[in-house]
């Protein structure tokens, strides 16, 4: 704010004049206030691409963390029976556990325990 230059100019009058000139500079040719925009088109493009990539990454993370693909994709077909990936995990897990239980009765495993 400018100081009072003469005894007839008051602070509020000077402030009003400064504000008026500042607003006049902000007006466009049609008399309305100019719209504040990003000056660079590249910023808009980069931010748009970044937003799409973040949304895509979030979607991939959501699908993988819920196990949707594991439950819905056919992993193995035997004859007319289709096994989903989750079913196959259970079958392979049971086979592995059975083999490990079978080791409990072998001589090698008994030596390891002793």
Asked whether residue 89 is domain-assigned, the answer is: yes
Structure tokens at 52: 């799409």
Asked whether residue 81 is domain-assigned, the answer is: yes
Q: What is the pLDDT of residue 50?
A: 98
- Nearest 5°: phi and psi at 38? -70, 135
Asked whether residue 5 is domain-assigned, the answer is: no
| 37-67 residue pLDDT tens | 667 888 889 999 999 999 999 999 998 898 8
Asked whether residue 99 is domain-assigned, the answer is: yes
Asked whether residue 37 is domain-assigned, the answer is: no
- Number of domains into which the chain is organized: 1
Predicted TM-score (pTM) of this structure: 0.43
Q: Which domain holds residue 91?
A: 73-114
Q: What is the pLDDT of residue 55?
A: 98
**DSSP character for 1?**
-
Say whether pLDDT at 1 is over 60: no
Asked whether residue 60 is domain-assigned, the answer is: no
Asked whether residue 88 is domain-assigned, the answer is: yes
């Amino acid at each position: 704010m400018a100081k009072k230059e003469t005894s007839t100019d008051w602070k509020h009058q000077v402030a009003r004049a400064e504000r008026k000139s500042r607003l006049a500079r902000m007006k466009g040719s049609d008399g309305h206030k100019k719209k504040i925009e990003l000056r660079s088109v590249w910023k808009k493009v980069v931010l748009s691409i970044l937003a799409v990539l973040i949304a895509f990454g979030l979607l991939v993370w959501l699908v993988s963390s819920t196990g949707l693909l594991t439950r819905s994709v056919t992993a193995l077909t035997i004859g007319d029976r289709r096994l989903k990936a989750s079913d196959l995990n259970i079958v392979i897990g049971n086979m592995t556990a059975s083999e490990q239980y079978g080791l409990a009765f072998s001589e090698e495993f008994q030596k390891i325990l002793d």
